[in-house]
Structures are given as structure tokens and as C-alpha cells.
Amino acid sequence: MIKIVCKYFILRIIILCLVNTVVFAETKIAILDFELKDLTLVPRIPAEIKRTASIKPLLENELRKAGYVIIKIDANSQKKAEGGIGYLFNHHDIAAKLAKQFGADYVLVGRLHKPSFLFAYMMAHLIRVSDSRLIGNYISEAKGSNKKLTVKTVESLTVKIDNTLDNRYFPP
């Protein structure tokens, strides 16, 4: 009787380990530096350049909180793949090829599109690396440019990305 219980117990542990491996498989995302597309009369002021640079680390932090593995792609590698402003945003195959070199499952290519002094849009393309397919096209509006609004807009963008992937992010 004890042998049967032990075998049953060991079998249950093995099955649980296999299920946990599948359920908690690591989703690896590479996030490229966001580009600034500033259409205002005074483009690329230092404050907007700083805000644009803050998006990637904020987004990485939020996705990391949700359990995603963030794959780092160095700026030099991104620059080599970039054929000009907007190139990787519009060429999913090239962005996927870049991310594949670093072992990512997905790559997020983003842009801060600023048509006005009053608002801007965080735009992002989520690309599945295995087949270079665009699986998510996201836009989150930021009214104003202060740090708190940028954080809230990143959280909104994170919700959208997570809804496409694993549904495990809960914004603060």
C-alpha cells in the first residue's frame, strides 16, 4: 500500500512540474529604444528627448513586474539594423531578425509621435520573432508631458501588450 501511495505521489509531483514549466514558460521580449517623431513648430526640445528616452526603461520595468523576461539589445546593434528614422517601426522582418540574434520571442518597436504641444501618442508594434508577424499595434495617448502622465501612459501601453500575450499584468 505504501509503495502505491509513493508511486502515486511521485507521479503527481512529476505532472505538477511539467504543468508548471508550461504555465510559467518565460516570455522573452526585446524592447527597442523609442524614437521621437516630433511634428511641432519647435521639434526635439531637450525635455521631449528626455521623455522619449524614459519610455523604454519604464516599459521594461512594468513588463518585468508582470514576469516577462526582458532581452537587452545594445544601442549599437539597434543602430546598425536601423536604416533611418522609422525603419524598424515599418520593417517588422528586420526588427525580428535583430531580436532573434539576442534570443527574444517578441520585439517591441516604439515611437513617441508628437503632433501637438498638448498631447502625444505612444505607438508600439509588437512583433513575433519566429515568423516576423506584427501581432500588436498599440496607441496610447498622453495629454501633457509631465513624468506622472508618461508613467500612466506606459502602464496603459503595458496593459495592451500583456492582453496580447499572457494576461498577467496588473497596473498599480
pLDDT digits (tens, 9 = 90+) for 2-43: 655 455 555 455 555 554 444 457 999 999 999 999 999 999
Q: What is the pLDDT of residue 20?
A: 46
| C-alpha torsion angle, residues 88, 94, 95, 101 (rounded to 10) | -150
pLDDT digits (tens, 9 = 90+) for 123-151: 999 999 999 999 999 999 999 888 999 99
Q: What is the pLDDT of residue 21?
A: 42
Mean pLDDT confidence for 154-169: 96
First and final CA of the chain: distance in angstroms?
A: 51
Q: What is the DSSP letter of 44?
A: S
Mean pLDDT of the chain: 90
**Whole-structure pTM over 0.75, yes or no?**
yes
Q: What is the pLDDT of residue 24?
A: 54
Q: State the Cα–Cα distance between residues 27 and 129, nearest whole angstrom.
A: 12
Mean pLDDT confidence for 55-68: 97
Enumerate domains of the chain plus CATH numbers. 26-164 (3.40.50.10610)
Q: Which residues are within 8 A (CB) of 91 and not within 5 positions of it... i.e. 6 or more apart?
A: 83
